[in-house]
Amino acid sequence: MNTWFITGGTPGGFGMAYAEAALDNGDRVALTVRRPEELDAWARPYGDRVLVLPLDVTEEKHVEPAVRAAEERFGGIDVLVNNAGRGWFGSIEGMADADVRRMFDLNFFAVLSVLRAVLPGMRARGRGCIITMSSVAGLRGIEGFGYYSASKFALEAVTEVLRGEVEPLGIRVMAVEPGAFRTRAYTGFSGEPVRETIPAYRPMLEKVRAAMIAEDGNQPGDPARGVRAVLAAMAQDSPPQRLVLGSQGFDAAVATLEGNLHDIRSSEALSRGADFPAV
């Protein structure tokens, strides 16, 4: 029986899907959420196998106590799912500094806070699994979501380096990159006007916002099926380093990486010509 620590337990999202899949497997779950009362009715049937913890992951001083509470309740954490995150739209030039910092606080620095609080226990036991919920936007920049993409690119880099550092210690690490999934992630866009400081970018951002609102509820990805794919990948003898979720996301990721490879190779002579001449 494994114990999971999952952030971002908003109803209808990936965090809840992970929690339900883990519980269906007979495991135990510590699930964090900013408004725990929303999960009272959901948690009740699972009894003492569920611990719902109030946590805003951007409040660093509250992260370690939440992790300690889960460890004290269940004896340790076997699987960490760093899931909490969100995106806001805006141009690279015109997005307010406060909004950029808010994005990185949630999508990057909060992930590090949770990671650093959980790792000591995993290292002490010599085992564990870390799942980083990234995004296809962490593999390709999305127009209008440049800083969201930047936060996910940063997460990809940290996850890749972390994997090499902790695998010798018995801890596995996997990045998960969903495309468009039918969660509540897009719901708030209908009530959020475009906040742009430079008028030249407003038409582009209005189109981005309209597209997100139109897609809400029609995204092709199913969170429950996506999580089952992650669990199947984790169960392999040699789990993948990263897992793209959804056909739309898979096609976009492959096209982007193949395009990048073509672009790099097309300038091979220039790249190699930057070295000192061979002696």
Q: Which amino acid is at 248?
A: Q
**186 tagged catalytic:** no
Count of helix runs (H) and strand runs (E) in the chain = 10, 7
Candidate list 134, 135, 149, 151, residue with the active-site label? 134
Instruction: Tell me the C-alpha distance between 156 and 179, whole Å.
Output: 15
134 is catalytic: yes
257 contacts 139 by C-beta, under 8 angstroms: yes
If one counts every other C-beta atom within 10 angstroms of the C-beta of residue 173, the result is: 24
The one catalytic residue among 18, 135, 147, 148: 148
Q: Which of 18, 113, 152, 186 is catalytic?
A: 152
Told to judge if 207 belongs to the known catalytic residues of this protein, a careful annotator would answer: no
Cα angle 257, 261, 267 (rounded to 5 degrees) comes to 150
Specify which residues 28 forms β-bridges with. Answer: 3
The Cα 183–Cα 9 span in angstroms is 12
Please state whether 255 falls in left (phi above 0), alpha (psi between -120 and 50) or beta: alpha
Catalytic residues: 134, 148, 152
